[in-house]
Amino acid sequence: MRLSLVSAFIYVCGALAQSGSVSSYISTESPIAKAGVLANIGPSGAKSSGADSGIVIASPSSTNPDYLYTWTRDSSLVFKALIDQFTTGADTSLRGLIDEFISAEAILQQVSNPSGTVSTGGLGEPKFNIDETAFTGAWGRPQRDGPALRATAMITYANWLIADGNTTFVTNTVWPIIELDLNYVAGNWNQTTFDLWEEVDSSSFFTTAVQHRSLREGITLANAIGQTSVVSNFETQADDLLCFLQSYWNPSGNYITANTGGGRSGKDANTVLTSIHTFDPAAGCDVVTFQPCSDKALANLKVYVDSFRSIYAINSGIASNAAVATGRYPEDSYQGGNPWYLATFAVAEQLYDALIVWNQQGELNVTSTSLAFFQQFLPSVTAGTYASSSSTFSTLTSAVKTFADGFVLENAQYTPSDGGLAEQYSRSNGTPVSAVDLTWSYASALTVFAAEAGTTFASWGAAGLELPSTCSAGTSSGTVAVTFNVNATTVWGENIYITGSVPALQEWSTSTALLLSSADYPIWSITVDLPASTQVQYKYIRIYNGQVTWESDPNDEITTPASGSYIENDTWR
């Protein structure tokens, strides 16, 4: 529904009026969103006929696009939202549905599929048919976020069961499912993966972060039920994941690079979704885990949001410090490359989460990293810590609340009168487009509405985490000399270049890619100083008469040594 002129006036007039408008939208949309989620689950769902018990369909849309499948990622995020409602007492009727989800996922884990069997990589399979059979068509596989997200959802339920006196059920039924997923995470986190948009095969910030969270939670659960044999390995891998997580930060751009590959800017809703799905209210504004109110997460949010201000017609004329509709990433062209309801809600949710923590802490910290974010609302603000009793704290938190509300109102403006939430809405006129009744869209409404109300959920163990003194995956301050040799036959005038995932390899740029020497043709060679103890992805490219040709997928990958030098010998693919 489009905002009326009165609503538009209220929107302009400030935080209190906007909050009222948001409250009205939440009051109307919340039951619709909840019903939308439930309609897409199992055989009794109003729009999921044909789905097996406990199976979440992504959308009832079966053509252009065909989303009548069950994705491990989507299903796990949806059930995490429902499990949070159940375990906090918000909806005690959900237990039967949750148990059906547990049973369905136990079956899916054992289904052999194009990614493998349960013991040979099959847990990384992204989607299945809704009758719990394997989808065997071409697809972006594997996707390694699903097992981590499924484990997190089930661990939340397991912790509630233990508190309710059902430890035996956890140990015998739930833990074996969780353990399979966590062993997959621990054994495969440092392998490439298709990102959550199923397009880029590299390493993904979202995937790394949710994998890290799942292992930390798994360690606590394993200790609680006496399954301690896995703990040492999980601790080692979790430490390495936390180290690697730091490598996505782009200090020159002041944002988080979503993927190590793909050739895009890296400005992506992936990073905002990471912030809200790894939110731990006990961790404060911890920067190591990129908590919602951390300076890096806030700086990233500004860069991400700003990247959509000028590319969507519906954002035209909106002030540079006001909310706009946002999508997956600015280069997106899928279904026309439009705003997504879940992406725009995610921005609001990160901001609401930040407000929760600032109010809990009784102070707000502005650093040089987050300064540009805060200066949107108070240009005169400087780096420093501002107590809740200060006028600066009041001014900034009020402005951030108005900003957050604005993103909810953006979605409200383009929500049709029946409250249905599709996947996207048109960048030109706001009409809903792509898959109708997207389950993840409805779930994202439920989670942002909970955050707006100040609701928080149990800590997952982010509080007090410190980076190991020696990180094996990307935080060493030293460099090592890496020589790249590639055997490549060329025509006269054609040259071979290299570009890759770290600044020393030009962060996937083709315009500034590094030229290799042909002195030992057909071996082309270059030596580059790269960060020590770091996972690095790269590709060779050919440039001839200005035309760029990339090597075929997948990306090449090395982990640099802690010291000394390294030689990598490749052949052009």
* 48-247, CATH topology level: Glycosyltransferase (1.50.10)
* pLDDT at residue 529, as a whole number: 85
Query: Element (H or E) spanning 519, and its range?
Result: strand 517-520
The H-assigned helical ranges of 124-267 are: 146-163, 167-169, 175-188, 205-224, 231-246
State mean pLDDT over 443-454.
Answer: 98
pTM of the model: 0.82
State mean pLDDT over 380-397.
Answer: 98
pLDDT > 70: percent of the chain = 95
Helices and strands, counts by H and E, the chain: 15, 19
Rounded CA-CA distance 383/79 in Å is 40
Domain boundary assignment for the chain: 1-38+248-456, 48-247, 479-571
Residues identified as active-site = 195, 198
Rounded CA-CA distance 89/42 in Å is 23
Answer for the pair 363, 386: CB distance below 8 angstroms, yes or no.
yes
Give the architecture-level CATH label for domain 1-38+248-456.
Answer: Alpha/alpha barrel (1.50)
For the cut 50, the answer to whether the pLDDT of residue 401 exceeds it is yes
Task: Output the DSSP codes for 97-151.
Answer: HHHHHHHHHHHHHT--BTTB-TTTTGGG--EE-TTSPBP-S------TTHHHHHH
**Binding residue per annotation — 160?**
no
Answer for the pair 425, 431: CB distance below 8 angstroms, yes or no.
yes
Residue 261: which of 550, 507, 517 has the closest Cα?
507
Task: Output the DSSP codes for 274-313.
Answer: HHHHT--GGGTT-TTTT-TTSHHHHHHHHHHHHTTTTT-G
pLDDT tens-digit map of 128-158 = 999 999 999 999 999 999 999 999 999 999 9
* pLDDT at residue 286, as a whole number: 97
State mean pLDDT over 236-257.
Answer: 94
Residue 217: which of 296, 299, 139, 162 has the closest Cα?
162
Measured between its terminal Cα atoms, the distance across the chain in Å is 51
Q: Given the structure tokens 């009026």, which residue do they identify? A: 17
Backbone angles phi, psi at 337, to 5 degrees: 65, 70
For the cut 70, the answer to whether the pLDDT of residue 249 exceeds it is yes
- Tell me if domain 1-38+248-456 and domain 479-571 are identical in fold: no
pLDDT tens-digit map of 373-383 = 999 999 999 99
Greater pLDDT, 440 or 559: 440
For residue 99, the one-letter residue type is: D
Q: Is the peptide bond before 65 cis (omega within 30 degrees of 0)?
A: yes
Q: Which residues of 302-322 are buried (b: 16+ CB within 10 A; e: fewer)?
A: bbbbbbbbeebebbeeeeebb
Answer for the pair 442, 525: CB distance below 8 angstroms, yes or no.
no
| 237 DSSP β-pair partners | none
pLDDT tens-digit map of 42-92 = 999 999 999 999 999 999 999 999 999 999 999 999 999 999 999 999 999
* pLDDT at residue 14, as a whole number: 31
* 479-571, CATH topology level: Immunoglobulin-like (2.60.40)
* pLDDT at residue 564, as a whole number: 65
* pLDDT at residue 565, as a whole number: 72
